[in-house]
Chain A
Amino acid sequence: MSEIYEQPLFGIFITILAFQLSKIIARKFKFAVFNPVLLSVVSIICFLVIFKIDFESYNIGGQYLGFLLGPTVVALGVLFYEKYEQIKANILPFVSAVFLGGTLSIISVSTIAIVLGAPEFILKSIAPKSVTTPIAVEISKIIGGVPYITAGIVIAVGIFGNAFGPAILRALGIKNKNAIGAALGTASHGIGTARALDEGKLPGAYGGLAMCINGFLTAIFTPYIINIVLTLFA
């Protein structure tokens, strides 16, 4: 007889439960570390470790939720269409900024990691660190990274950008709110964009669009950039 936790229901149920509880806690403590995703992930891991349940058993159900990231990426195309109208006037400098920022993200993270001695699969897992999780996971699978490591790092980068992004940018002399929004969306995807919305509606739109454009660019260029970095440094 299979254990109760070896049914799809188990993984789906504890994920939804943990997420709902995390949202309640996150609402009480308005600080970036109390992010609902981080809290859910940490609490589920603790639960599985305490009750000695394998990730594989959990993922019997978990994979159904993960599968929904596919249509979510398509939904981002709809979001992009909506926001596109709002920033038409600034489209050229905006796309250039996201393009350069996004490209430098892949180049810098993989170069620094390889110089510090990280193996190839780590490099490939963290290369798409700045793009939204559904896209990052797809990129990681295609270039030979580990999607679980990718997801963890992407979430961490999002929380870092959300918590410290605006303060870092202001310390570096950035005053323009739309520029702050675009930077948060490019460097730390949806979780960063949530913070861009605190700066205002338009900075929030810049963040959302930057997230979509960078996701698309990163999906196209990462395999090539990784190959170049590997031939240069490995």
Chain B
Amino acid sequence: MSAKDQQIKKLERSTKLTVWMAGKSSRNKSLSDKICRFLVSRATAVKPEDDFLRDPLIDNDQGFDPDELDRFQRGESG
């Protein structure tokens, strides 16, 4: 097996493991699911100073008041 083949095999195994863990992590029911969730969560966490997805528009969003949405839908408010 060539060095390239070996590298591809290694990456294939790693990818299969990642997908398996992501699937279990998403299920998040059994203890092993929760271990995967913990690991995936740790692995995907980003330091606050490196977190390019922080955005005031998103982070400060508090949603809407349901009564206000009702009034808006009836045309009673802007």
Whether A and B are associated in the same complex: the answer reads no
- Chain B residues close to A by CB (< 8 Å): none
Q: Which residues of A contact B (CB under 8 A)?
A: none
